[in-house]
Structure 1
């Protein structure tokens, strides 16, 4: 059956480090109930089995494959690390009408996550990057204990290479973008988010921790609806 368009872009949801696409399930349920179409992608730098070896460019290629499979306009929502391969890839796709960085890294050309944090990149890029300190608090500080334990149980390994490779392009220079600052984030300091948000055309804020797609999916959906309604109307 041919898809009909009502002016709303499809949302492509790109997860962050140590996560898989399944982390978006609660937000997708809210989006579907509100009439928004969404898709996800599993990044190859996150490994469910074995040690992942893929980096930014393989992740970017996976995002590109998904973008090519979607008919009509697309808005890309990137969370945390996901902002890096989205920044690398999205500019190559004419159907991408907006970028949304959710507590996400928003690098300029030749910047990696190490660069953004002012750290020297390791010479050996093999292996995995250790899980963030105190992930219960850092990633899920505003989740109830049971929900946080369930989320922690879904985390997987993340390749070191993905954190150390720089982007060669910056899609936000040519595609309109919104940065959503998570004001109670325990993983990416809000001050760093505010600094990166200077690259964006629009800034929104959520009084949430690092993972509002789990802790505040309704509130996050409201922000997305506000942003994407403006995109659809051409405001």
Structure 2
């Protein structure tokens, strides 16, 4: 069975991927959406690595925004999908690459013990500005506080240098500069550009599902007798 792992970004939860996960599962794809918020980039990466290692064959792994830093550090993925995501090279962090836009920074407010949260009124327009209002409200309601320092984490491994990868630039993104996205996309095997905001898995889940199905089909066709791709 084809398998996909979906990796969310800062302040988000696995439930934000519900619209994509439900459609992929309905088509017969196994989908796992691990919870991050483990306190650091290494801990988040280890949590996702354990999920990747649980499959008999390498899954496709999609990382959104900060989730790109997480999936950069993985080993054993069959294909990496970077959705408006950070793609750090040696010595780089998401924050060092450019981090949050001024609009997203303005939405961040202090919480307890150095944690931060997003102001709902500002988060809606920055993260979900092109989404239907009911969906945007639903997504804002799921947001949670974030531990400090994750965006400063530097991956120890750089899987995109050896694993086939596809970058999706979100050209109307208000959270991560599309110019920066295009620069990071040049590091990947393939790049696409969508006229969407930062969160197409909310506003345009059909685009995300279509891309994942396309990549899974292409990867399966390249493997003799349905065998698994190499790269572990």
TM-score range, shorter chain: 0.7 to 0.9
| SS of equivalent to 2:131 | coil
Q: Secondary structure at the match of 2:142?
A: coil
Q: Any idea what the Cα deviations from partners look like across 1:181-201, whole Å, max 9, x if unmatched?
A: 112111111111101001100
The partner residue of 2:114 within 127, 141, 147 is: 127
Structure 1: unaligned runs, 5 residues or longer: 46-53, 120-125
* Higher mean C-alpha displacement, 191-200 vs 27-36: 27-36
Q: Given the superposition, is the C-alpha separation of residues 13 and 118 from structure 1 closer, same or farther in structure 2, using an over 3 Å criterion?
A: closer
For residue 76 of structure 1, report the CA deviation from its aligned partner.
Answer: 0.6
CA distance in 1, matches of 2:212, 2:50: 23
RMSD: 1.9
Give TM-score scaled by structure 2 length: 0.84
Match of 1:226 among 200, 214, 217: 214
Which structure 2 residue ranges, 5 or more long, are not aligned? 101-112, 224-232
The corresponding residue for 1:85 is: 70
Instruction: Return the offset for 1:134.
Output: 2.1
1:153 aligns with 2:141: yes
TM-score (norm 1): 0.83
What is the distance in 1 between the residues matched to 2:218 and 2:211?
A: 11
Provide Cα deviations, 1:65-101, integer angstroms capped at 9, x if missing partner: 111222222111101101112112x12x3xx211000
1:107 is matched with which residue: 71, 88, 92? 88
Say how many residue pairs are matched: 210
Partner in structure 2 of residue 63 of structure 1? 48
SS at match of 2:78: strand
Residue 26 (structure 1) aligns with: 19
